[in-house]
Structure 1
Amino acid sequence: MQQAGSLPAAALFSRIDFGQGAVAAISGGSDSTALLILLKNHFDRFLPSARLIAVTVDHALRSGSAAEARTVAGLCRELGIIHRTVAWEGAKPSTGIAAAAREARYRLLADVARDEGLGIVVTGHTADDQAETVVMRQARDEGPGLAGMAPATLYEGDVWILRPLLAERRSALRALLTANGHEWIDDPTNLDPAFERPRVRATLAGNENRFEDILATASKVAHEREDLSHRAAVLIGRHASRLAPGLIHLDPAFAAEADRLAVLHVLRVMLAVVGGTSFLPDNDRAAALFAMLSAGTGRATLSRTVIDVRRAGIFLHREARGLPAPSMLSGGAVWDGRYRITFDDGVAGCVIVPSGRTKARESTAPGGDEAPASLFRAAHAVEPAVWQGGTCLGSPGEPWQLPGVAFVPVVAPFARFLSGFDLEVARAVSELVGASSLPMPPLKAPAGSKATANA
């Protein structure tokens, strides 16, 4: 296909290492249709052995959605592209439907990628989508969120969601399609004022100056967020240690660091990770807490995490309230937002429960004077333990009597969606707690840049 001069596929995709191939999300709208055609051209020219698989998610929210999916399937047959339609099944929520649909869409796309042995999903988000996203986040006063969507996001630790068209305007993509005789489907919900995004889209229409200002804001905040992530990662490497499963130590020099923004960011990340919460604690509450703790002694709780400040430093462990009720082992399940459970056969009748104070008192604190024994016991008491009948088979940090059982630490705030803006701090804290290693993003750094490509 002849390319429009302003949208050469080689330039759009030159920074992406597609490896064995990619899943391309296509709804049939102009953006995703143009993306698919550009990808097809690129793969044919430069990656003839890689696989390109188009996937349409039928959310089943409109009567015509199934027919639209069939139309997309027909286009893919004409282009010689493998196509899959996957449906969002089950009951739909009565509120927050847009967010729920987005969650379902990414889950279904990632499932296809995994089934096909691919680690990349490519979406058609444009500069228009980026501007709309930033405006919506401005309305909710989401400071770091003003960076908008990242060029790549890691989904559930193993699938990269790439957005190579974030610098391109929708009008240019439509011009490309029209010039090459391709049509697209207009989703009526994109014009429905009952939804937030169409309302924002209407306010931006024709206001190019505001549009450019919004994108400039997004770029500025993105650079600031990446820089903060880097500085926070440095502080974690310099001051943080894991004394035992569930017990994190920040040495006394941490509180004296001059970079207060990075110090506070580290504290917020650590509170969420230790407490197993999906969101970082409120910035103002964390700042007030840090101001109180900067005195050198004290004890407080935030985000399900106990912060115990002593002369030896700051100690963090999960609080004893709100722990999960006893439950059967379930492979792949996440326990308390802190551990992913894996196991082999032979776990019939096994139950997972918090270790509790009695089991903690029986444990032996590591030697040395790194922390009082009471802190090790407090951290151990909230760790998971596996029981079979009346026998405790073990808990994290102990030898297991049941081979094949493992509790892999989870970095809760980054476990589902990890924006590349936060990649460095996420990698640092993952290494600290012993979580699964994070894959490198499939984006090459721009020519002349020493930095890792954001993801």
Structure 2
Amino acid sequence: MTPADPSASRDGPLARALAPVLDGAGGPILLAVSGGPDSTALMHAAAARGPAGGLFVATVDHGLRADSAAEARAVGARAGTLGLPHAVLTWDAPRRGSRVQAEARAARYRLLALHARGIGAGLVLTAHTRDDQAETVLLRLIAGSGPGGLAGMRPERPLAEGVRLARPFLALPKADLVAYCAAHTLPFATDPSNADERFARARLRRLLPLLESEGLGAVRLARLATRAARDEAALSARAAAVLINLRRHGPEGWCLDGRRLAREPEAVVLRVLDAALDAVAESPAPKRLERLERLVLDAVLPALGEGRALRRTLRGVLVSVGPSGTVRLAPAPPRRDD
């Protein structure tokens, strides 16, 4: 009888999670690999099953640490042993203090999307785990997010035109990926910023064991994300249908039948106005749920109910309510310098 492969039990969860993503890709796939245990496991497990369309690897070097270039080269060497093409994507941009991690994250996705399009890949895979999801949900809870934010990271979402981002390991604990690396003796890098308490995620990692002892662990936080995503999808679908039925394109923007809109639940009205603001705005603007709530719940809906006129500006869009109940949205005029 042939002895069982001791790594087989570690391979199973990763292989099962990857199978539908790899099998359904229909073309080249770009793996985002930083060199940490999670992405190292992703690269190795994907290479073991690689799709017919081919696998490519990219490492984003943000240049935030002295060792980052060497770590990127090490990923390239490991990718080479697996027969996978590797590219280093460098972020060259000014750094701004407290915003550096958020800016680095945005740059990472932007660079990955550009590289994916350059190699003809319609899918980018990252190795985010259930632990990452739990941290994301906690961060958004602290920030006062609504259901859309508490839904956390989606298993799949658009990344750029013609490119999607997928997270096949989002339901797996990080321990599974670390165990996979140990079973296959895969070397990996450790990012010291993960323990740097100047950053919110690092502080949350210190608190998570305390929350776990009270019953609020990664499993429950991930379950909250799943439930919030389910509810958000239903509300967003209803809002999209309402917006199609109520909107009219005017010479300077959009018009909505406010009286019909006001008959919808507040959660739907918020999403309708949110989508309309996005469509009319001439450039993207930061979103804050509290500001949207003040506009819709404290201003627009009361004005519609009382039949009075209203003018407010949010995200560079002028929102006006007329006595007839029409809600108009148009790009706000530029501010005059005094």
TM range (shorter): 0.7 to 0.9
Letter of the 1:222 counterpart: A
Q: Could you say which residue in structure 2 is the equivalent of 1:199?
A: 203
The change in CA–CA distance for 1:282 and 1:260 in structure 2 (over 3 A counts) is: closer
Give the secondary structure class of the aligned counterpart of 2:322: strand
**Match status 1:60 vs 2:66:** no
- Find out whether 1:316 has 2:334 as its counterpart: no
2:84 aligns with 81
Preserved contact between residue 254 and residue 263 of structure 1 (Cα < 8 Å): no
- Structure 1 residues 5, 156: CA separation in 2 closer, same or farther (over 3 Å shift)? closer
Kindly indicate whether residue 307 of structure 2 is the aligned counterpart of residue 296 of structure 1.
yes
Instruction: Answer whether contact 1:275 1:305 (CA < 8 A) is retained.
Output: no
Q: Does the residue aligned with 1:315 lie in a helix, a strand or coil?
A: strand
For structure 2, the residue ranges without an aligned partner over 5 or more in a row are: 1-6
Match of 2:168 among 164, 170, 177: 164
- 4+ runs of 1 displaced by more than 6 Å? none
Which residue identity is paired with 2:329? L
Q: Please say if residues 13 and 164 of structure 1, whose CA atoms lie closer than 8 Å, have aligned partners that are also in contact.
A: no
The two structures have a TM-score, normalised by structure 1, of 0.65
Q: Which residue of 2 aligns with 1:240?
A: 247
Match of 1:251 among 252, 257, 274: 257
**How far apart are 1:285 and its partner, in Å?**
2.9
Structure 1 unpaired stretches of 5+: 324-455
Q: Which amino acid aligns with 2:330?
A: H
CA contact (8 A) 2:300 2:310 kept: no
Contact map agreement 2:11 2:45 (CA 8 A) in 1: no
**Letter in structure 1 aligned against 2:206:** A
Which position in structure 2 is the counterpart of 1:22?
29
Give the counterpart letter for 1:299 in structure 2. Answer: L
Name the CA shift for 1:85/1:322 in 2 (closer, same or farther; >3 Å). Answer: same
Q: CA deviation at 1:288?
A: 1.1
CA separation of 1:94/1:264 partners in 2, compared to 1, >3 Å: closer, same or farther?
Answer: closer
Over the residues paired in the alignment, what is the CA RMSD in angstroms?
A: 2.2
Query: Which of 172, 177, 187 is equivalent to 1:173?
Result: 177
Q: Check 1:42–1:310 CA distance in 2 against 1; reply closer, same or farther (3 A cut).
A: farther
Counterpart for residue 130 of structure 1: 133
Q: Which has the larger radius of gyration?
A: 1
Shift of 1:8: 4.5
Deviation at 1:68, TM superposition (A): 0.9
Contact between 1:10 and 1:42, CA under 8 Å: does it hold in 2?
no
Q: Kindly, what percent of the aligned residue pairs are identical?
A: 31
| Alpha-carbon separation, structure 2, partners of 1:92 and 1:123 | 24
The alignment partner of 2:164 has SS state of strand
**Higher helix content, 1 or 2:** 2
Aligned partners of 1:251 and 1:186: how far apart in 2?
55
Matched, 1:219 2:232: no
Farther-moved stretch of structure 1 (256-265 vs 232-241): 256-265
Counterpart-to-counterpart distance in 1, 2:262 and 2:114: 46
Which whole-Å deviations, capped at 9, do the CAs of 1:161-196 have from their partners, x for residues lacking one? 211111011101111111122121111111112211
Residue 306 and residue 285 in structure 1: after superposition, are their counterparts in 2 closer, same or farther (change >3 A)?
A: closer
Counterpart Cα distance in 2 of 1:186 and 1:205: 20
Given that 1:272 and 1:279 are in contact with CA atoms closer than 8 Å, whether structure 2 keeps it comes out as no
Aligned to 1:265: 271
- Asked if the contact 1:274–1:305 (Cα under 8 Å) also holds between the matched residues in 2, the reply is no
The number of equivalent residue pairs is: 318
More displaced 10-residue stretch of structure 1: 254-263 or 135-144: 254-263
Deviation at residue 197 of structure 1 after TM alignment: 0.9
Task: Render the CA deviation track for 1:389-408: whole Å, top value 9, x for unaligned.
Answer: xxxxxxxxxxxxxxxxxxxx
Give the Cα–Cα distance (whole angstroms) in 1 for the partners of residues 67 and 195 of structure 2: 16
TM-score (ref. length: structure 2): 0.86
Classify the secondary structure of the residue corresponding to 1:210: coil
